Structure 1
């Protein structure tokens, strides 16, 4: 359960049996032909995979290189999150659990969890920070439409960290019948490994699709945004031991790295324990969690998955930090150049293109993790403030 010094399972005694049960069984369950068949068939016929790998000609021209977008925004529910919730709901069913809980920031994981619970006829409770409930209203409505109960987390900064705290509290109180579907590569082992495996379908497809398009299955660079880091884990997975493929983890710098309003964990964080695993964490000298900030609800987390902590610490992945304004500009750039409105999270990955030096021969894959419907309010306010012509030239 460790990536170097990061990972493990630091959990209350009451959850030990649950987590241990899952740890002992998850690999055997995932690898059975029966599981694989059901998982693959749902990804294909329900989620709509494989998602396209799209050559973005105008974006490529702009950055003088060859840019491909992995279109996770075209999945059913609008993001990569559903790859993982399908996998976990199949495990929950096989473990005989009747009640599903989840945490969500941007609401995409909540929607994906509510979706698979409706599909399988299981009770669904989603914890979401009160601040995020306001800024991601369309996703709250979608969850309710799907039959989920959305419970606001009113403590702390009332965002993703606090929603996770509440979900863990619920799990401690209901260990027998409840399965916690964690939405990212965070939490106690085996969650980071399990979520990465379910998301690895992203890089599995990229390899095949690139081979068809370019003759080589390896790009020169893979770029993905990182909050907890599940979309990045999926995009990096099959390239982890291919040193020639450069990996870029894009973090939210909020109002600036040193502004006190940031979520750039790998730059500002130090080793600590959050939500059941040892990782990099924004904390004070006495170990209190520092409240993160990002305009994007999905990147607004004070920690990072242990896999990413390891990749960054060992230098295997490079970090790019993007401020709120830069992400907003990038979202307009992609919308105006390619006719694709990205989620604010994915806009951070697009913004990283401005900060990397490319050669004209390179193949660059950006994981476009989600679509922008849920962020239209934020985008509208930005357009009002900056006018319609901002940053598209």
Structure 2
């Protein structure tokens, strides 16, 4: 069976690696040499697990969605990452990385954010550990995710707006890397997704793997078996999907479905469907699929969802798609919005716009009555209420 984990060279097939400026080489190499050793220490594992339980509120429930199941004629469970402290899966990773940063003697934390959930999660753990926190965020995202900006500032973080490029996630990441180059010795960069140079994609996937670890034993309790038939998750960079898939990667009977953001459609120039539209290239320190022009210039992505508005994809997901281990659907803005409103009315749960892309797969795929389908509900919709209210009015007038 093919191995879908990263190899010793930091590669998933031909994707991954570490393409970093020389000034960052020593920092990335130190992290590469230390992360697995530290993560496997009993004291680290105990502190991490205790914080997930007592601070984050894990395990997150695996909720049997009765009315959603009736609608689609199958058995649907929602993995409720929206119920975590800070409202999304992002905290699973930032808890782990802040402990690593402390172990490595770092005192200054930087991060990038799109939808703001990773920024809030980073600011939260920095407040917990009494560390300086700087978050880079595109000016467009600051406007559409204002509640999360206010949360970050209340937590003590300094939010720096980015005005270059499309003023969204890619540009925020560029600025965070520039900062890191200027302050390599005392700064730790908490990357929020399975992107960036090795070891970040593997490290983030491992911290997020608590999601699939819990799914297995929760499903055993509820259904008498550990493995669902399908696991569905949205991808921007891919951390929530990596976590939901991790313990099923080498179980072929579990089908993995990825929902990426088609924006206004694959045939338009307003999309963020990197797996469908991208070509092999290097972005933010890793070789992966990248949306780019014929001469290699990165094109500006678009999605109504700030967290999926990224022109690359984690190298793990590029490899899973290329090998046929995952099925990739491109979900439009309107499909995601309809799925969000549908879940709200049927189950009384308002999802994040990112998670709504995963929910939209239920309209596109036909499942058998005895299938068990797990949808990773990666975040809650508080941050997206302004968008939802605007789009609800627009859709009602169509």
* Fold shared by both chains (TM-score > 0.5): yes
Q: CA deviation at 1:387?
A: 3.5
The equivalent of 2:359 in structure 1 is 350
Q: CA deviation at 1:158?
A: 0.3
In 1, the alpha carbon distance for the partners of 2:242 and 2:168 equals 22
* Structure 2 unaligned regions, length at least 5: 1-9
Q: Does 1:89 align with 2:89?
A: no
The equivalent of 2:392 in structure 1 is 383
Pairing partner for 1:295 from 304, 321, 324: 304
In 2, the alpha carbon distance for the partners of 1:352 and 1:103 equals 28
| 1:86-116 deviation digits (Å, cap 9, x = unpaired) | 0000000000000000000000000000000
The equivalent of 1:276 in structure 2 is 285
In 2, the alpha carbon distance for the partners of 1:356 and 1:329 equals 15
In 2, the alpha carbon distance for the partners of 1:253 and 1:139 equals 24
The equivalent of 2:344 in structure 1 is 335
The equivalent of 1:141 in structure 2 is 150
For 1:50-61, what aligned pairs fall within 5 Å after superposition?
50-61=59-70
Query: What is the TM-score of this pair, normalised by structure 2?
Result: 0.97
Specify the SS of the correspondent of 1:9: coil
In 2, the alpha carbon distance for the partners of 1:220 and 1:194 equals 26
Specify the SS of the correspondent of 2:143: helix
Q: Does 1:226 align with 2:235?
A: yes
For 1:38-49, what aligned pairs fall within 5 Å after superposition?
38-49=47-58
The equivalent of 1:263 in structure 2 is 272
* Structure 1 unaligned regions, length at least 5: none
In 2, the alpha carbon distance for the partners of 1:26 and 1:321 equals 34
Q: Does 1:29 align with 2:57?
A: no
Pairing partner for 1:151 from 139, 147, 160: 160
Q: Does 1:307 align with 2:346?
A: no
Q: Does 1:127 align with 2:136?
A: yes
For 1:185-196, what aligned pairs fall within 5 Å after superposition?
185-196=194-205
Where in structure 1 do 4 or more consecutive aligned residues deviate above 6 Å? none
In 1, the alpha carbon distance for the partners of 2:325 and 2:335 equals 25
The equivalent of 1:360 in structure 2 is 369
The equivalent of 2:26 in structure 1 is 17
Q: Does 1:112 align with 2:92?
A: no
Q: Does 1:170 align with 2:179?
A: yes
The equivalent of 1:161 in structure 2 is 170
Specify the SS of the correspondent of 2:256: strand
The alignment of Structure 1 onto Structure 2 pairs a total of residues equal to 389
| 1:152-209 deviation digits (Å, cap 9, x = unpaired) | 1110000000000000000000001000000000000000000000000000000000
Query: What is the TM-score of this pair, normalised by structure 1?
Result: 0.98
In 2, the alpha carbon distance for the partners of 1:112 and 1:281 equals 27
Specify the SS of the correspondent of 1:134: helix
Q: CA deviation at 1:385?
A: 2.0
Give the superposed CA RMSD: 0.8
In 2, the alpha carbon distance for the partners of 1:17 and 1:323 equals 41
| 1:122-169 deviation digits (Å, cap 9, x = unpaired) | 000000000000000000000000000000111000000000000000
Specify the SS of the correspondent of 1:194: helix
